[in-house]
Amino acid sequence: MSRRRKGRDVNGILVIDKPQGVTSNGILQQVKRLYGAAKAGHTGALDPLATGVLPLCFGEATKFSQMMLDSDKAYIATAKLGIRTETGDSEGAVVEEKPVPSELSATYLESVFDDFRGDIQQVPSMYSALKHKGRPLYEYAREGIEIERPSRPVTIYELTLLDVREDELDIAVSCTKGTYIRSLVEDIGEALGCGAHVSALRRTMASGFTLADAQEVPEMEAMRERDESLDGLLVAPDAALSMFPEVKLSGPSLVSILNGQPVRITGQSVEGFVRVYGNEGFVGLAEATPEGEGITLVPRRLVKTSDQR
């Protein structure tokens, strides 16, 4: 006997402006209840301290959550200078205090920032969700166990000084997936000789979505109180996949893709993941391989659609 699914079918992406002091999963479960949705997931957690862009995937959109997780991100952070903490942010216990350099000119800071722009190696924080032997690192950290972490390559596309105060810096960061802003701030503090930690963090972009796309949960709750539908706030799954080129199919080629079969197409020269569209819109993601004067498309992630044949 099959188990009955709890909740209704909801498909699409909702971008939330996550508030401070709650976990990403806590927000996910709250919004999932508002929609009465059967299936939902987020695309990369924000720490409770952090606020900002948190895309949530519902139904068919969850098939693309890994691609969204792998996307570039952008943040605005405040670095508190002269104090290092266990966690690299203001929620951790203070482990060291040092005097802040008296001269923090923009010129000097720019010279320091230069070492952190472009392709760099970064050691993840012990208070990250990266796993070691099946357990997240932060669990070991809370038990006082230090795990050796190899450095990882990340790219800092932009590192901009927004403001400098006596013992604080506001910075804007645009970076690849897997970049830890806490680690970046700690490394900058070390380079300045005084240590630092993150006292405020706001994600301004993820998966191509910005704060302008984001909804606030209290407003959504108010809409529910007024018996207004929340479905109009959702965007289609392909809205987060614009980094991939588009291929349109029809006829037998479309039928083959919908049946999960590879197809050969002439006159195309793309390679890697592509967005596939049929007669009635988005079909899913396929992987293109150059072959002769065309490409071979292999379906990878298909959405459930009405019959497009």
Task: Catalogue the active-site residues.
Answer: 47
First to last CA, the chain: 33
Q: Which two tokens stand for residue 252?
A: 């037998």
* Cβ proximity of 206 and 177 under 8 Å: no
Task: Give bridge partners of residue 170 from the DSSP assignment.
Answer: 78, 163
Cα Rg of the chain (Å, integer): 23
CA atoms of 180 and 182, how far apart (whole Å): 5
Q: Which two tokens stand for residue 47?
A: 């720490």
CA atoms of 163 and 174, how far apart (whole Å): 17
CA atoms of 9 and 210, how far apart (whole Å): 26
CA atoms of 241 and 277, how far apart (whole Å): 12
* Cβ proximity of 88 and 195 under 8 Å: no
